[in-house]
Amino acid sequence: MSDHALAKSRRNFIRNGFTSLAGVILAPSVFKKGKKPVIHQEKDRKFIYRTLGKTGIKLPIVSMGTYDATGVVNAALDAGIVHIDTSADYNEGNDERMFGEVFKNRPRDTYVIGTSIGMWQYKKAEQIKNTITAKTLRDYIEGSLERLALDTIDIYYLGGIQHKEIALYEPYLEVLKEYKKAGKLRFLGVTTHTNEPEIIRTATDSGVYDVVLTAYNFRKNNREEIKKAIAYAAGKGMGVVAMKTQAGVYWDRREKTKMINMKAALKWALQDENVHSAIPSFKNVDQLNEALSVMENLALTPDEKADLKLDQAEPSTGMFCSQCEECLPQCSAGLDIPTLMRSYMYAFGYHSPWKARETLDHIKLASVPCLNCESCSVKCSSGFDIKRKATDIARILDVPKEFLV
């Protein structure tokens, strides 16, 4: 495609495409002025607790992920949520700062905080030697401690680990063990949403990590392999926390009236007793109450099974990318398709345009090579139209980042 055509394509985004993102970016507040949210306290509902492996921490099976959900954290803690998961990457560290303010007003033994450094953009240890060094990791840990205003972080993760050599990178392990010995990190973990079975088993066998936070939902192509790895980890005393349980939120961007049944999707993950807790995000109190209500009965009703399309061998593709990486060797332009698909999900499924842009910025994407291809040769295992989704989400590169907050 010529430079002129490329420029025209980008201008078309501003003219025609911005409104499709505007519903995400400029969505009105959930609460009407003067109306107080209704919080169901712990005494009013059933809570199910599981022990987070060898950590000995007893948690409700519903915990809280916090990207774009910081406004409801006090309500969540008041309602009985114990475990909060955040990241130094979220909003450039500002989420951690906000939690530092929240925690100042709460006894230290009433919450469990997990945070991480994001490393998902690195495919092998060779890439991190000159980027995230041992000193850099120390700086990240110290930064999180400062922003959270805590002496100790309960669970510190190497985030988004894709390949086992990064999880086992000795300079990192030495730093993590040093901080754990000093009492600044109580427990160590990894998070993964790619190559999950191998990463889970690697972390379990390392003798260093205590917790694994893994993508796990009813739409993952490799969910049975993940389930076996989770059982292996739990059997060895690892704490297991599930993320991405809502599987992209909508069945398809073009059919936004067809939302995935969030309650049923969360039940599906938590029916696995080797999953000790899950971290869905709540953007309002209604979503918080719905997630907590899962503990009233984990059994899926016939209607919920139908909603999840569990009887269909190949349900509609939706917005959740399994991050299987089968697409990577197929792309002649070498495009990081899994990252683009994850960004697409953040923008159009999770209504988090900042997270979508942040994700693309990590891979320093200036433009999408798909625009130069007459047709796409990539065959997605989930049936995605890769070219359409890639060019669709790439339009967000033309929006000034300050508009995405």
Q: Is the pLDDT of residue 206 over 70?
A: yes
Q: Is the pLDDT of residue 405 over 50?
A: yes
For position 291, what pLDDT does the model report? 92
User: Mean pLDDT throughout 286-298?
Assistant: 92
Q: Is the pLDDT of residue 183 over 50?
A: yes
Angstrom distance (rounded) from CA 188 to CA 222: 25
Using CA atoms of 56, 83, 245, 261 in order, give the dihedral in degrees to the nearest 10.
120
Q: Is the pLDDT of residue 24 over 50?
A: no
For position 44, what pLDDT does the model report? 66
Write down the mean pLDDT value for the chain: 80
**Range picked from 2-6, 54-58, 356-360 for highest mean pLDDT:** 54-58
pLDDT digit string, tens, across residues 91-112: 777 889 999 999 998 999 999 9
Q: Determine the angle formed by the axes of helices 18-25 and 353-362, rounding to 10 degrees.
A: 110
Q: How confident is the model at residue 33 (pLDDT cuts 50, 70, 90)?
A: very low
Q: Which two tokens stand for residue 70?
A: 């910081």
Contact 49, 112 (CB under 8 A): no
Using CA atoms of 264, 267, 268, 273 in order, give the dihedral in degrees to the nearest 10.
-170
Q: Is the pLDDT of residue 34 over 70?
A: no
Using CA atoms, how far residue 45 sits from 28, 154, 196, 294, in Å, is: 30, 27, 33, 10
Note the Cα 301 to chain centre separation in Å: 27
* DSSP annotation of 398: G
- Mode of pairing for the β-strands spanning 58-60 and 83-85: unpaired
For position 336, what pLDDT does the model report? 78
339's CB contacts (< 8 A; 6+ apart) are 121, 359, 360, 362, 363
Q: How confident is the model at residue 8 (pLDDT cuts 50, 70, 90)?
A: very low
For position 40, what pLDDT does the model report? 43
pLDDT digit string, tens, across residues 231-255: 999 999 999 999 988 876 666 655 4
Q: Is the pLDDT of residue 313 over 50?
A: yes
For position 38, what pLDDT does the model report? 42
CATH number of this structure's domain 42-307: 3.20.20.100
Angstrom distance (rounded) from CA 124 to CA 167: 10
Q: Is the pLDDT of residue 263 over 70?
A: yes
- The fraction of the chain above a pLDDT of 70, given in percent, is 77
Q: Is the pLDDT of residue 181 over 90?
A: yes
Q: Tell which wins on pLDDT, 279 or 35.
A: 279
**One-letter identity of residue 258:** K
For position 52, what pLDDT does the model report? 98
Q: Is the pLDDT of residue 136 over 80?
A: yes
User: Mean pLDDT throughout 46-67?
Assistant: 94
pLDDT digit string, tens, across residues 365-382: 766 767 677 778 778 777
- pTM recorded for the entire structure: 0.73
Q: Is the pLDDT of residue 20 over 60?
A: no
Q: Give the domain ranges of the chain.
A: 42-307, 321-404
For position 85, what pLDDT does the model report? 95
Q: How confident is the model at residue 296 (pLDDT cuts 50, 70, 90)?
A: very high
Beta strands in 110-227 (DSSP E): 112-118, 153-159, 185-192, 211-215
Angstrom distance (rounded) from CA 368 to CA 371: 6
The residues pairing with 243 across neighbouring beta strands, listed in sequence order, are 215
Contact 256, 357 (CB under 8 A): no
The residues pairing with 62 across neighbouring beta strands, listed in sequence order, are 278
- Mode of pairing for the β-strands spanning 58-60 and 49-51: antiparallel
Q: Which residues of 31-61 are buried (b: 16+ CB within 10 A; e: fewer)?
A: eeeeeeeebeeeeeeeeeebebbebebebbb
**Sign of the CA dihedral with 210 first, then 215, 218, and 224 last:** negative
Q: Is the pLDDT of residue 152 over 50?
A: yes
